[in-house]
Amino acid sequence: MVHLTPLRFALAIAVIAIGYAALSLARGGPFLIGDCPYYAATTHTLLHDGDWDLRNQLPGDVPDHHGFFALSIDGRIVPKHSVLMPIVSIPFYFIFGTLGFLIVNLITTFALIWGIMRLAGGDLAARWLALVAYLSTPFLAYTVNYSPDVFATSLFTWSCVFAVRNRPLACGVCAGLAVWAKITMVLLLLPLALIIVPPGWRATLKCGLAAAVAVSPMLIIQTHLFGSPFVTGYDRDARLTEAGFIITEHYSRFNVPLLTGLGNLLFDPTIGMLKTAPLWFLWPVGVVMAIRSRSASEAFASRLHVVALLLSLLANLVFFACYDEWNASMFGNRFLFPALALGFVLQNPLWRWLMTRIVESRGQRVYNSATDEKTPGN
């Protein structure tokens, strides 16, 4: 087996990502699909118009874009989705044009896979684990995209990395930005309290203050656009009718029975996890091995870390199992990207065990070969 050093791992991810993107572009495949054009439109209006009004950026008639914009308190068509990724994209769009959006996606994809590796322990087994997670799941297909889900999951993953490494300030910053990138990250980040709180009130306070500072621009922007820091674009989802705009809120669309929804997420023949990421289903084995491990350091720094990550994974599954637009994805279920990342991270003990057996097997073969060479008559 190739010794996958950190440098080789980084080069492998970079070469695969760039090569996959170049091949897709050469074939003429678009990457601004689904919600992507609306995130890109936000960057465009901020850079060229200096405002939040998307009307100049929406081609055709307003009804053509129902479900993709919000209505501000002063009647403007404004972004429904998070504006963090579009803000981060401004310099890339300014320098590279539309290609800049793909470059942002490539960077965040690299950060996500590197974060999975670090969260899984950072050793040889973790590097192979993360590489397989990239190549065998929808993460690869979403390389050629402008994905808010990759962006938010990267921030979420690094929040977990800094939490388990007892870096509360960095954890808080990434957590606040993850919430800004995708508001549903609040639910997935709550279990990290099991990691942040036990070291003491100082660490907890540092993390909380850092998160508050990181998320505060989102609250300011929402106050400006929607009249309250706690009203998002999803609360002001707009539809144009003959009588004018009507406002709907997005959060009432969680109507699917839990077991039915879990069946959809896991076993749908098109975008279910079994179809798109079959190796993800090994995570229960890793969890059992971690909990039964005699020494917690053999798996994670603490069994409490395993519990926290497991609760985040389950929160992701349960929340979106009830979502009636659960299948609004192109190449796999993008709403489950945090669970997808954590599912591979939780396999850490299994992969370490496999790596140990492979090394031992190779060592035994080398020993047997050397013994045979020294045996008279051979």
Which of 316, 187, 337 lies closest to 271 in space, CA to CA?
Answer: 337
What is the distance between the alpha carbons of residues 154 and 160, in angstroms, rounded to a whole number?
10
DSSP for residue 244: E
Q: What's the rounded Cα separation, in Å, for the pair 108 and 246? A: 36
pLDDT tens by residue, 71-85: 999 989 999 999 999
Which residues are paired to 248 by β-bridges?
237
Return all residues near 157 (Cβ < 8 A) that are at least 6 apart.
Answer: 112, 115, 116, 119, 338, 341
Mean pLDDT of 318-343: 94
Confidence of residue 378 (pLDDT cuts 50, 70, 90): very low
Q: Which residue ranges make up each domain of the chain?
A: 6-252
Two tokens, residue 330: 């192109």
The answer to whether residue 371 scores a pLDDT higher than 70 is: no
Between residues 307 and 238, the one the model is more confident about: 307
Contacts by 107-110, CB closer than 8 A, 24 or more apart:
108/147, 108/150, 108/151, 108/154, 109/17, 109/139, 109/142, 109/143, 109/150, 109/154, 110/10, 110/13, 110/14, 110/17
Q: How far apart are CA 301 and CA 109, in angstroms?
A: 26
- Which residue type sits at 35? D
For residues 315-324, average pLDDT: 96
Return the pLDDT at 377: 47
What span, in angstroms and rounded, lies between the C-alpha atoms of 67 and 333? 19
Strand order through the sheet with 244-248: 77-79, 69-71, 237-241, 244-248
Condensed to tens digits (0 to 9), the pLDDT of residues 11-66 reads 999 999 999 999 999 998 889 998 999 999 999 999 999 999 998 898 888 888 88
- The token pair that represents 362 in the structure block: 């190779």
Q: Is 147 left (phi over 0), alpha (psi -120 to 50) or beta?
A: beta
Q: Which amino acid is at 112?
A: L
Residues 6+ apart with CB under 8 A from 36: 101, 145, 146, 147
CA pair distance 302, 336, nearest whole angstrom: 25
Q: Residue 314: name the closest of 267, 352, 288, 346 by CA.
A: 346
The reported pLDDT for the residue numbered 297 is 47
Q: Pick the range with the lowest mean pLDDT from 7-11, 76-80, 251-255, 342-346.
A: 251-255
pLDDT at 131 over 60: yes
When mean pLDDT is compared across 2-11, 208-217, 363-372, the lowest value belongs to: 363-372
Q: For the ranges 35-49, 180-194, 226-240, 276-290, which has the lowest average pLDDT?
A: 226-240
Question: Using 50, 70 and 90 to split pLDDT, how confident is the model at 111?
Answer: very high
Q: Which residues pair with 71 in a beta bridge?
A: 77
pLDDT higher than 70, residue 122: yes
Q: How confident is the model at residue 359 (pLDDT cuts 50, 70, 90)?
A: confident
pLDDT for 373 beyond 80 = no
φ/ψ (deg, to 5) at 77: -85, 115
The pLDDT mean for the chain works out to 91
Cβ-based burial of 14 (10 A; exposed 0-12, middle 13-18, buried ≥19): middle
169-184 pLDDT, tens digit each = 999 999 999 999 999 9
The reported pTM is 0.92
Q: What is the pLDDT of residues 186-197, one digit of tens each?
A: 999 999 999 999
Which residues pair with residue 70 across a beta bridge? 78, 237
Q: Is the Cβ–Cβ distance between 220 and 231 less than 8 Å? A: no
Q: Which of 71-75, 209-213, 239-243, 364-368 has the lowest mean pLDDT?
A: 364-368
Does residue 211 have a pLDDT over 70? yes
Structure tokens at 353: 């065990």
- Which has the closest alpha carbon to 197: 286, 288, 305, 359? 305
- Listed in sequence order, the DSSP H helices in 120-229 are 124-135, 138-141, 148-164, 168-181, 185-189, 193-196, 201-226
Nearest-angstrom CA–CA distance, 172 and 185:
13
The arithmetic mean of pLDDT across residues 282-288, rounded, is 95
Averaged pLDDT for residues 226-243:
88
- Counting beta carbons within 10 angstroms of the beta carbon of residue 303, is it exposed (0 to 12), middle (13 to 18) or buried (19 or more)? middle
Instruction: Dig out the tokens for 145 from the structure.
Output: 């995209």
Cα separation of 2 and 8, whole Å? 10
